[in-house]
Every structure is written in C-alpha cells, then in structure tokens.
Amino acid sequence: MANAMLLPVLISFLILPFSALALTQDFCVADLACPDTPAGYPCKPGVGAGDFYYHGLATAGNTSNLIKAAVTPAFVGQFPGVNGLGISAARLDIAVGGVVPLHTHPAASELLFVTEGTILAGFISSSSNTVYTKTLYKGDIMVFPQGLLHYQYNGGGSSAVALVAFSGPNPGLQITDYALFANNLPSAVVETVTFLDDAQVKKLKSVLGGSG
Amino acid sequence: MANAMLLPVLISFLILPFSALALTQDFCVADLACPDTPAGYPCKPGVGAGDFYYHGLATAGNTSNLIKAAVTPAFVGQFPGVNGLGISAARLDIAVGGVVPLHTHPAASELLFVTEGTILAGFISSSSNTVYTKTLYKGDIMVFPQGLLHYQYNGGGSSAVALVAFSGPNPGLQITDYALFANNLPSAVVETVTFLDDAQVKKLKSVLGGSG
Amino acid sequence: MANAMLLPVLISFLILPFSALALTQDFCVADLACPDTPAGYPCKPGVGAGDFYYHGLATAGNTSNLIKAAVTPAFVGQFPGVNGLGISAARLDIAVGGVVPLHTHPAASELLFVTEGTILAGFISSSSNTVYTKTLYKGDIMVFPQGLLHYQYNGGGSSAVALVAFSGPNPGLQITDYALFANNLPSAVVETVTFLDDAQVKKLKSVLGGSG
Amino acid sequence: MANAMLLPVLISFLILPFSALALTQDFCVADLACPDTPAGYPCKPGVGAGDFYYHGLATAGNTSNLIKAAVTPAFVGQFPGVNGLGISAARLDIAVGGVVPLHTHPAASELLFVTEGTILAGFISSSSNTVYTKTLYKGDIMVFPQGLLHYQYNGGGSSAVALVAFSGPNPGLQITDYALFANNLPSAVVETVTFLDDAQVKKLKSVLGGSG
Amino acid sequence: MANAMLLPVLISFLILPFSALALTQDFCVADLACPDTPAGYPCKPGVGAGDFYYHGLATAGNTSNLIKAAVTPAFVGQFPGVNGLGISAARLDIAVGGVVPLHTHPAASELLFVTEGTILAGFISSSSNTVYTKTLYKGDIMVFPQGLLHYQYNGGGSSAVALVAFSGPNPGLQITDYALFANNLPSAVVETVTFLDDAQVKKLKSVLGGSG
Amino acid sequence: MANAMLLPVLISFLILPFSALALTQDFCVADLACPDTPAGYPCKPGVGAGDFYYHGLATAGNTSNLIKAAVTPAFVGQFPGVNGLGISAARLDIAVGGVVPLHTHPAASELLFVTEGTILAGFISSSSNTVYTKTLYKGDIMVFPQGLLHYQYNGGGSSAVALVAFSGPNPGLQITDYALFANNLPSAVVETVTFLDDAQVKKLKSVLGGSG
C-alpha cells in the first residue's frame, strides 16, 4: 500500500464517525449535583481517567468501635464512575471479635472476596428459611443473593479484610438493628412487629441512640 | 456487655454510614416538574410518608356517562411515589350495564381484583387469535398480559368495583374506539386500515367527537 | 365492497400469519413441573382461560394464630399465569390486634390497597434510616419500595383486609423473626449479629420452634 | 522477540481460557424443540454460521389477497439466531392499493425502512390520542413505539417494499380486525366493547371467517 | 342507540382520561440539549410526527476514502425519536473493494439486511474463538451478537448497500484499528498489549493520524 | 406474654408460609447439565452452602507463559452460585513484565481491585477514541465499562495480583489477538479488515497457532 497517498482520505473517513458518534454513550459518570433518576444519575460532562479510578478502599477503615468493624463503600455516591455500569464495591475491615451485623442490600447481590484473615459468613433464604454458612479464608469468595439477610464476623485470631463487589452501582445497606433501634420508631411498634420484649427494645434503643 | 461504655463508639460507627450512604437510592419519588426520562422521572428531594400514600382510589368514579364506567388511575402522574418501582394501580367502577371498552396497556401487564359485583372480562392473544374470557366474582383475580387487547364489563345486577394493579408505574391506556374515532384521523384512513364501512366510521366519529 | 368475492383471499391471507406466528410469545404460563430459570419458569403448553384466573384470594385467611393475621399468596407458585408478567398478588387478613411482622420482599416492590378496616403500616429506608408510616383506611393505597423492611398491623376495632400487588411474579417474603428464630441458626450467632440478649434469643427460638 | 521459543508457552496459555470459558454465552440460538421461557428459548447446542443467517426475506411475499399486502416475519420462530439478542425483522410487501391493517406489536418497538415505493404510515399515542403520520419514500425510516396502534399502506402507483426491524426477538402482531372478527368472540361482546353496530360486526365476522 | 343523546356524556367521559393520562409515557423523544442518563436522554416536550421520521439514510454515504465504505448512523444522536425504544439503525455503503474494518458495538446486537450487491460478513465468538462467516446477497439478513468482533466487506463486482438495525438506541461503534492507531495511545503500550511489531504499529499510527 | 400458650398457634402460622412459599426464588444455582437460556441456566435442585462458595481464586494462576499472566475465572461455568445474580469474579496474576492483552468483555462491566503490586491499566472509548489510563497500586480500584477495549500489565518490579468483579454472571472474554490469530480466519481476511501487513499477520498466526 502507498500510505502517503491514502493518509488524507482515511483520516477524513475516520474523523467523520468521531463527530457523528460524539453523543454515543460508552459510560455515564454520575453528575452528583443533578437529581438522581430510577436508572442512575445524569451523565457528567468532561470526563477523565480519574473518574474511573477510586483510591478510597486502599486504607483500612477504623474498627475502634463497638462492632470492631468498618464498611468503606465505593458506591456511586463515592465513586461516580460506576453510575449505570451495574457494579460497585466496598471494603470490609473486621478486627478480632468484630462483626458486620445482620443486614440486607435491597438493590444488589454481593460477592465477597477475603484478602486477609478468616471470616464467618452466612445468609438466610426467604423461601425455606434455611441458613447457608461458610468459614472463609484468604482467597475464598462467597455470594449473597439480592435482598436476603446476611452477616459476616471475624472467625480468627487476626484482623480480617475483604473486598466486596455488588451487582449494582447503588446497592443500599439496611442494618436490621439500625433500622429498629437507631431512629424514632416507637418502642411499642418495634415490639408489636418483632415480638421482642420491651426491656430488650429499650436497651438497644438506648445503646444505638434511638428515641421513642 | 457494658452498654454505657459502648454507647459512644457504636453511635460514632453508626453515624458514619448514615452520611456515607446519604446518596443511596431506596426509592425515587417522581419530581413531575422535571422532564421524564425513559426510566421514569428524576427523584424529588425532601420526601415524606405522604409520598408513598394515595387516597384517590377511595372514592367511586363517576359512572354517569355513556359507558357507565370510570377508570380512576393511580399512575406515576397521580401517585409519584411509584416512580421507578415497577408498579401502579387504578380503580374500576362499572355500573349496571357499564363497560370498559376494548383497550390495551402498551407498557404493563394488568392484574384485576374484583372487590364488588360481577365482571365479565376477556383478552385476545396475538399469536393464535384465541379469546380468553372469565366471569369474575368478588375476590377473584385475572391477569391480562402486556399489550394485548382486553375488555371488562359488568355482568351482574349491581355495581361492580375492581382494583387494578399494573406491572409498571406508567402503563398507558389505549382505548381502540378512542384512538380511531375521537381524533382527527381522517375517516378514509380509518376505513382503509380497519375495513369498517364509511357510515359506521362517521357515526362513531360523530359520537366520540372526532373530525375528518 | 363485494364481500363474497373477497372472502377467500382474505382468509388465505389471515390464515398465513396464524401459523407463521404460532411461536409468538404473548404470555408464558408457568410449567411448575419444569425447573425454574432466573427469568421464571418454562412455558406450559395447552393454555386456557383458567390459567389467567385465580380464585384463592376470595376466601379470608385463617387468623386464629399468634399474629392474628394471614397472608394468602398468589405468586407464580400458586398462580402460574403471572409467570414472566412482572406482577403478582396476595391477600392480607388481619384480625383485631393482629400484625404482619417486620419483613422484606427481596424481589419486588409492594402496593397495598385496603378493602376493609384500618391498617397501620410503615417502612424504613436504608439510606437515612427514616421511618415512613401511615394509617390506612378503606380505599387507601401505600407503596413499599423493593427490599426495605416494612410491617402492617390492624389499627382499628374490626378485621382488616387488604389486597397486595407486587412488581414481580415471585416477590419472596422474609420475615425477620422467622429468619432469626425459627431455624437452626445458633443462638450465639444470632446474638453476635443482632446484639440481642441471650435470654431474648432463646425465648423467641423456643416460641418459634428454632433450635441451636 | 524469539517467536520460536515463545510458541509453546503462549499456546498453553491460550488453550487454557478456551476450555475454561467453554460455557461462556456469547449468543443463544433458540432450540425451538424445547419449551420457551419468559426470556426466550433454551440455547441449541452445535451452532454454525447458518444459524445467524436468514434467507426468507429475500423473496417478495404474496400480495394476491384482500389487503394486497404480505408480512413475512423473521422472528425467533423463523430465525432462531435472534433468540436473546433483543432484535428481529420482517419484510413488508404492499401492492398498489394494499394495506397493512391497524395493529400493534405487544412486545417490541418497530423501525421501518422503505426500500421501494411510497408508504403512508401512522401511529396513535395513548396519552393524548394524537395521530402521527408520514409519507415515506425510498430510504426513509420511521419508528413506531412499543404497543401503540399503527398502520401502513401503499401511497403510490407502484409496489412498495420495506424492511422492518423490531426491538425484540418475538414482537408479536395483533391485527385489530383479526382479533375482533376472525375468531369465536361473540358478536354481542364485540358490539358491547367497541360500540360498532351489529350489522357491521356480522359483516366483518363473515368476511374474516369468525363465528358467534 | 340514540347517539344524539349519548354524545355529551361520552365526550365528557373520554375527555377525562385525556387529561388524567397526560403524563403517560408512550415514547420519549430525546432532548439532546439535556445531559444523557444511563437509560437515555430526558424526553423533549412538544413532539411531532417529524420526530419519529429520519431521512438521513436515504442518500448513499461517501465511499471515496481508504476503506471505500461509509457508515451513516441513525442512532439517538441523529434520530432522537428512537430514545428509550431499544432500537436504532444505520446505512452501510461499501464500494467495490471496500471494507467496514473489524469492530464491535459495545451496547447492542446488530441485524444486517443487504439491499444491493454482495457482502462478505463474519463475527468471532469469545467462548470458542470460532469464526462465523457468510456471503450475503440482496435480501439476506445476518445477526451479529452484542459486543463481538465482526466485519463486512464487499464481495462482488458492484457497490453494496445494507440497512443495519441495532437492539439499542445508542449501540456505539469501536473500530479496533481506530482504537489502537488513531489516538495518543503510546506505540510501546500498543505493542505490549497486542504483540504487534514496532514497525507495524508506527506505520498504522502514521496512516491513521495517531501520535505516540 | 405467655409463651407456652402461644407456641402452638404461632408455629402453625409459620409453617404455613413455609410450604406455600416453597417455590419462591431467592436464588437460582445453575444446573450446568441443562441447556443455558438467554437469562442463565435453569436452577439446580438440592442446593447447599457450598454452592455459594468458591475456592478456585485462592491459588495463584500459572504465569509461566508468554504473557507472564493468568486469568482465573469464577464465572457461572466455574461458580454456578452466581447464576442469575448479575455478578461474577476472576483472579488476575501478572508476573513482572506480564500483560493481559487487549480484550473486551462483551456482556459485563469490570471492576478491578489490586491486592498486590502495581498494574498499569487502560481502556479506550468508542465515541471519542479517548484512552483512559491509570497506574494502580495495592488497594486501588478501576472500572472498565462494558464492551470497551482494555488491557492491564504489570508496571512494577514484583508480581501483581488483582481481584476482578463483573456486572454479570457470564461476562465473556474476547482477546483481540486470540480472535484474529489463533483460529482459522484466513490471513487475507485478517489483513483486509485490520490493514495489518501480511508478514505481521502470518507471524502472529504462527505464534498463536492459527491457520489460514
């Protein structure tokens, strides 16, 4: 081929699709300043490589708290590049004796990958009320189906760390204790809908800062 | 456990996710003042319990009309809380002798639940042109697959009422007669595409307020 | 038009699409004898009008039990006609003092329509831990977003009845108490992941028939 | 690079993913002998290039019939390669004076591309009952949103041909006349739900081979 | 029926749904002036028949270029009416000896319909690395599954034309050569990730206007 | 409350939903012995905790090959528990000087999390042909939008390891070099659709074991 001659026409050909396709959507980095929609945030203009990168999971979360654990999210709110891509992540740090309490993700399934230590994990099915539990070591993965109650706690003598991936950019996190005892849901209602004793409800309301 | 000592750390733990997850999308109440999108309306800020509640189906619709029936919608336009949730509702009131004429919902399947009276309902499949009909009494349900022609009429001696649920927040409602005879679609075109006689078309155009 | 002459050709035209389109899928009534798939059950052959009709919600559920309530499902397992149609239903009967305990539907949003009595209902968001509650009277509707904890209880002096519609054919139902106390999840694990006291856990395990 | 040395290791590397990924699903050609599912047919084993190719639209349909038109489908039932791919096609032949009568596709939007002649086409919206019509010449395209009533007829002095693409592998085709007059739906019901006169209904029932 | 008497009530009935359903979404023509969302552009107000019509594929693309071919898109950026409808189109003109180079559509499957000439087309599966090729004549269709590498070139002695439909409104178009050689991706990186020789990479970078 | 008295009725209540909901689908572990469907494999009966657990990513892949890298998949074919859950995973091992060559995943977006070493990664957009690259260190994450060309290579002096999560259970993996040079696609066709020189194509065909 005589490249020198072909150069001008080829470039003219290739430049054409460039402009014609400028509105093509390969991705849609979230513009968090706009209102969300049911399918995710509107796309931000002027995207760069940094929008597809997140450093926030590189540092261990602070586990100096009651549950001796920390969940560091990389959901669309923290990592706008995942908007519309059907995926997000989080880092789990669980100190010795620590626990991520019973919770659900209303809007995504979860895949957990242990990078350090030992984690005991389980979920409960809604159809047969069966409990599925595993002891997970470094390199093991476990999947938790969308919307089902599950938990993780440290099962070893050293800190545990896991990377968690979700099947959506905004999985949500509903901790059962937090939903029941850390808000203004009246104790009488909690007792009615859970059969817990009044003293138990009031004790946890007090610990978790709830009122009513 | 010594709750008094644990209180501060637990609260600090629990307050953290609160702010970190503030952008999580559990729901997306429609902001009807914004332009719609293919996935539904943008989310309105400042949501309250009233946004998930609708009173408009509590009152019977006015059936003093030709069809002796009324459809009262609780679609996203009337009930913004269903935006993005894949569901909506309507109330059907059909007086004695009344009818909901042949129609489709282009964007949802329908589930009908009779709460009063007797309703004769049917739909027609597109593949085999088969008619599926049932006489429905109080407490019966029937499902009408998305996009197929169907109808309901009162089959008893007293008023009939039904709650209708849809598999989407914005199901649409295309009444065949209304589409053919209540607009400016020229009579000649109607005749060409339906094989109806000219007199029949002009008669219904006249009744339904169409022109052309 | 001279119908007599046109008849043969038109029929020949219309018979053609009939066979050509015989494989068209207007609906897909579940063949429950086949294994399920992620999108629902395979389609059953030989469908009739009865497949789109369900009588099981016409009768009140039996509320002579601890919770004084009954949930009667019309999910795909009971009502195969909803397979693949993105909708299903249930009937709620709540006697005076009765309650549908705290629960989630992992796979659908819920729309509740009160047909008799008074129901107090609420759900809790995961993002802000806010409680959204309403007192619902006959004719009122309320929507509960997918996967979020919610509850309903009778708030009046007479029986309450509601029709519930779901945004999917197989919404699931995970009652928190049932998941924690009615299976073999060890008490020690329950306590670790919920912060409930040992006595409380053992008491409810005993009541609900759980072991461990 | 010294290719001769690298050859064995590279091949061993590349052969590995081959077997590991053998279950990867790039496509899912329909096995029409299996029952359909809500997401399409199970995948047929032993696929070849011919499965992604269809010759059936190359020949003009027979327009020697009342409507002087023919619709030749390339839906999943005729062209199994489109199964699961969200697309299908059809060929439209419309002789002079021919018409594709008023119809809907319950499960897909339609994109029409005129390859010969002149076609008058229109669709009617459900929300505002507006009619959208265009005269289409060779090379023009028009899109018809899912589930809405539409029609096409020859608007010129020569045969018209169009390629039609659909946004799903199994769009369905519900011709309104056919649904009303070519089956056993009783005339009285047709009249009740359409307001058509008895004589008109019986005339078209007779022409289209319906009973009742 | 006494139409004269019924007219007023029927109109009042029919006008009611008109306003009540004014927010119903039958379609959502793209407002390209708004930011895109993961589900497509916000809906433009004030839609007319012209929004569902596109004339841009009626004229042959200019094939006086190196590849002797032209792709004329009717994606949402050119044809806003397809927004949210799951379909779009393009026209392919391939002169004698012309080629549409190896490429993928990241966001849609493709259905190709030959309207003139002969096209050799093929795609490569990711699971088994199998090549599927066909020689396509006028009237033939071929389907290319989403995201897989494929190509088309003129296999005859006259110009070839095809209409291409896509299973989404914004399919994207990633030409492998263009991605590797027409931007600032450094030659060393290209060589590392493709095993191409340095001279080959620099030659094509020069031809295609790339730098680095 | 007097638990002893309440016990029998509560159990009877709770046992009821158990059987009624036995067909509820919380998850759908793949039965790989059945044919796949467009939505994933049919569900296997008799599921246990082991079905949601996978050990195969715990061991480093063998990087003693030309690319000095290994991709160990945990797709549905290896890890049936992810079937229908919208997520899967893989492990990346890249020795010093190693590379995961240019490739796409036709059916999923990818989220990469570095657990050891330094990885240089990049992807190329289809709309603007822009290259987005980052140097990733331990703990960093990067997201690669569905279907776009991307690559990863070791950018440091020690082995690199990453966990990769995908937004679907069956993402596919199409390595460009493998698609072009490791099968029977004739060299002449490769040259026509890539503009590569004949010597270059034949050299890589020879290295990668392709024919033609």
Q: Residue D22's pLDDT is what?
A: 56
Specify the residue for token string 């009541």: C207
From residue E20, alpha-carbon distances to B41, D2, D126, E8 in Å are 17, 74, 12, 19
- What mean pLDDT is predicted for residues B121-125? 97
CA distance B59 to B75: 16
pLDDT higher than 70, residue D59: yes
- What mean pLDDT is predicted for residues D86-103? 97
CB contact under 8 A, E25 and B170: yes
D-E contacts (CB, under 8 Å): 172
**Residue B131 phi/psi, 5° resolution?**
-100, 130
Work out the minimum CA distance from D51 to partner chain B, whole angstroms.
Answer: 24
- Nearest by CB: C20 against D73, D106, D171: D73
Q: Residue D144's pLDDT is what?
A: 98
Q: Residue F22's pLDDT is what?
A: 55
Length of chain D, in residues:
212
CA distance C13 to C6: 11
pLDDT higher than 70, residue A128: yes
Which pair of tokens denotes residue F208? 């990668």
**Residue D123 phi/psi, 5° resolution?**
-140, 160
A-C contacts (CB, under 8 Å): 127
pLDDT higher than 80, residue C103: yes
Q: Which residue of C has its CA nearest to A77?
A: C127
Give the mean pLDDT of chain C. Answer: 91
Q: Residue F110's pLDDT is what?
A: 98
pLDDT higher than 50, residue F144: yes
Q: Residue A24's pLDDT is what?
A: 73
pLDDT higher than 80, residue D135: yes
Give the mean pLDDT of chain F. Answer: 91
F180-210: b (≥16 Cβ within 10 Å) or e: bbbbebebebbebbbbbbeebbbbbbebbbb
Q: Residue B115's pLDDT is what?
A: 97
The share of chain F scoring above pLDDT 70, in percent, equals: 89
CA distance B157 to B117: 8
Task: Determine the 3-state secondary structure of B179 from DSSP.
Answer: helix
CB contact under 8 A, C76 and F23: yes
Q: Residue E212's pLDDT is what?
A: 87
Identity of the amino acid at C190:
V
Work out the minimum CA distance from A86 to partner chain F, whole angstroms.
Answer: 5
CA distance F106 to F108: 6
Q: Residue B5's pLDDT is what?
A: 43
From residue A5, alpha-carbon distances to A192, D21, D78, E66 in Å are 83, 44, 48, 9
Q: Residue F25's pLDDT is what?
A: 85
Q: pLDDT class for A14, splitting at 50, 70, 90?
A: very low
Using an 8 Å CB-CB cutoff, list chain A residues near C173: 126
Q: Residue E23's pLDDT is what?
A: 63
Which pair of tokens denotes residue B160? 């009939």
- Nearest by CB: D207 against C7, C41, C44: C7
CA distance E80 to B163: 37
pTM of structure = 0.94
Task: Mean pLDDT check: name the lowest of A11-20, D62-71, D92-101, F124-133.
Answer: A11-20
CB contact under 8 A, B129 and D102: no
Of E88, D39, C58, nearest in space to F42 by CA: D39
CA distance E132 to E144: 10
Q: pLDDT class for A21, splitting at 50, 70, 90?
A: low
E176-189: b (≥16 Cβ within 10 Å) or e: bbbbbbbbebebeb
Q: pLDDT class for D116, splitting at 50, 70, 90?
A: very high
C103 is in an annotated binding site: yes
CA distance E141 to D58: 9
Domain annotation for chain C: domains and CATH numbers: 60-172 (2.60.120.10), 179-208 (no CATH)
- What mean pLDDT is predicted for residues D37-55? 97
Using an 8 Å CB-CB cutoff, list chain E residues near F192: 99, 151, 153
Work out the minimum CA distance from E126 to partner chain D, whole angstroms.
Answer: 7
Identity of the amino acid at C206:
S
* pLDDT, tens only, F188-204: 999 999 999 999 999 99
Give the mean pLDDT of chain E. Answer: 91
CB contact under 8 A, F21 and C208: no
- A49, with CB counted inside 10 A (0-12, 13-18, 19+), is middle
Which pair of tokens denotes residue D25? 């699903």
Q: pLDDT class for F174, splitting at 50, 70, 90?
A: very high
CB contact under 8 A, E13 and B38: no
* pLDDT, tens only, E13-61: 444 443 445 567 899 999 999 999 999 999 999 999 999 999 999 999 9
Using an 8 Å CB-CB cutoff, list chain C residues near F84: 37-38
**Residue C90 phi/psi, 5° resolution?**
-160, 160
Q: Residue C22's pLDDT is what?
A: 55
- What mean pLDDT is predicted for residues F88-108? 97
DSSP state of E44: P
Q: Residue C212's pLDDT is what?
A: 87
Q: Residue E50's pLDDT is what?
A: 98
Q: Residue F200's pLDDT is what?
A: 98
Q: Residue B128's pLDDT is what?
A: 85
pLDDT higher than 90, residue D60: yes
Using an 8 Å CB-CB cutoff, list chain B residues near E43: 35-38
- Nearest by CB: D25 against F170, F173, F207: F170
- What mean pLDDT is predicted for residues A40-68? 96
Beta strands in E24-140 (DSSP E): 53-54, 69-74, 88-94, 99-104, 110-116, 119-124, 131-136
**Residue D194 phi/psi, 5° resolution?**
-125, -15
* pLDDT, tens only, B146-190: 999 999 999 899 999 999 999 999 999 999 999 999 999 999 999
- F33, with CB counted inside 10 A (0-12, 13-18, 19+), is exposed
C116 is in an annotated binding site: no
Q: Are A166 and A88 in contact (CB under 8 A)?
A: yes
Q: Residue C23's pLDDT is what?
A: 62
Q: Are D201 and D134 in contact (CB under 8 A)?
A: no
Q: Which residues contact B19 (CB under 8 A, 6 or more apart)?
A: none
* pLDDT, tens only, F8-56: 444 445 444 434 455 678 999 999 999 999 999 999 999 999 999 999 9
CA distance B58 to B68: 19
Which pair of tokens denotes residue C120? 């107090």
pLDDT higher than 70, residue D117: yes
From residue C11, alpha-carbon distances to B130, B194, D135, D204, E162 in Å are 16, 15, 29, 12, 34
First to last CA, chain F: 82
Q: Residue D12's pLDDT is what?
A: 45
pLDDT higher than 80, residue A185: yes
Give a three-class secondary structure readout of chain F.
Answer: CCHHHHHHHHHHHHHHHHHHCCCCCCCCCECCCCCCCCCCCCECCCCCHHHHEECCCCCCCCCCCCCCEEEEEECCCCCHHHCCCCCEEEEEEECCCCEEEEEECCCCCEEEEEEECCEEEEEECCCCCCEEEEEECCCCEEEECCCCCEEEEECCCCCEEEEEEECCCCCCCEEHHHHHHCCCCCHHHHHHHHCCCHHHHHHHHHHHCCCC
pLDDT higher than 80, residue F114: yes
- What mean pLDDT is predicted for residues C166-183? 96
Q: Are F185 and E124 in contact (CB under 8 A)?
A: yes
Best of F25, F29, F82 to substitute, by most chain C Cβ atoms within 10 angstroms, is F25
Using an 8 Å CB-CB cutoff, list chain B residues near D180: 102, 124
Which pair of tokens denotes residue A83? 């908007």
- What mean pLDDT is predicted for residues E79-92? 97
Specify the residue for token string 């929008």: A51
Using an 8 Å CB-CB cutoff, list chain F residues near C203: 3
The H-assigned helical ranges of B69-153 are: none
CA distance E162 to E140: 10
